[in-house]
Amino acid sequence: MTNEIKQRVVDANKRLKSEGLIISTWGNVSEYDKNSNLVAIKASGVPYDTMTTSDIVVTDLEGHIIDGSLQPSTDLLTHLMLYKHFKGIRGIVHTHSMYATIWGQAEKDIPILGTTHADYFRGDIPCTRQMTKAEIETEYEANTGRVIVERFKNIDPFQMRAVLVNKHAPFVWGSDAMDAVNNAIVLEYVAKMAWCNMTMDDGNLRKIDSDMIKKHYDRKYGDDAYYGQKKK
């Protein structure tokens, strides 16, 4: 695990606060290093303002602490479950950002209503089922990951990089810790827009059509994407 990755995890966690996605210590960011097969994650309950790399805990994919003197985030096992099942994702964010959490508390998917949503998420942003009493009382954090994986049985996690946990809050992922934060920012933005649209609904509110979804998503993430500048 490199110091560069630890510092990126610190910077990504701090950005949660600067972007208004969290209050108090209600959030965490991790990054998976494919070279070492280890995960760097924020320590539980540490303040963002004074966070340094010494507040980052490194674990293996089974949750054993490899480096760090603090306890890792209580959501560690959820992160690890996603890394193990969604092969290829490299960063995960968990927040309680207001509008995304509102949709999760309402047990509703966020409907895809426009191109802003389609630019990043290829479809409705899914909400998981309610967890059972046994799932809550035994291995709660790992089971949170399991119900997310279950919800994605027929969903590509690389075209839908976010989920709402029923009665809880969102988890979002990306190509590294900072990319995951960027996706969490977009999630909160589209969650707010969708909520505002629903308050205006007179019974005629329609989702964006599939051709427009495909166009907007593919021009940024498709095989022939042309958004932005070509890499030299």
Select which of 109, 119, 124, 218 is catalytic. Answer: 119
Residue 88: exposure state from Cβ atoms within 10 A (0-12, 13-18, ≥19): exposed
CA distance 112 to 192: 12
- Encoded amino acid at 137, one letter: E
Between CA 194 and CA 187 the distance in angstroms is 10
- CA distance readout (Å), 172 to 128, 129, 149, 191: 13, 17, 13, 13
Q: Among candidates 162, 143, 179, 21, which has minimal Cα distance to 104?
A: 162
**Does residue 227 carry a catalytic annotation?**
yes
Please identify which of the residues 60, 67, 140, 227 carries the catalytic annotation: 227
The per-residue DSSP string of 67-135 comes to E-SSPBPTTHHHHHHHHHHSTT--EEEEE--HHHHHHHHTT--B---SHHHHTT-SSPBPBPPPPPHHH
Name the residues annotated as catalytic: 119, 227
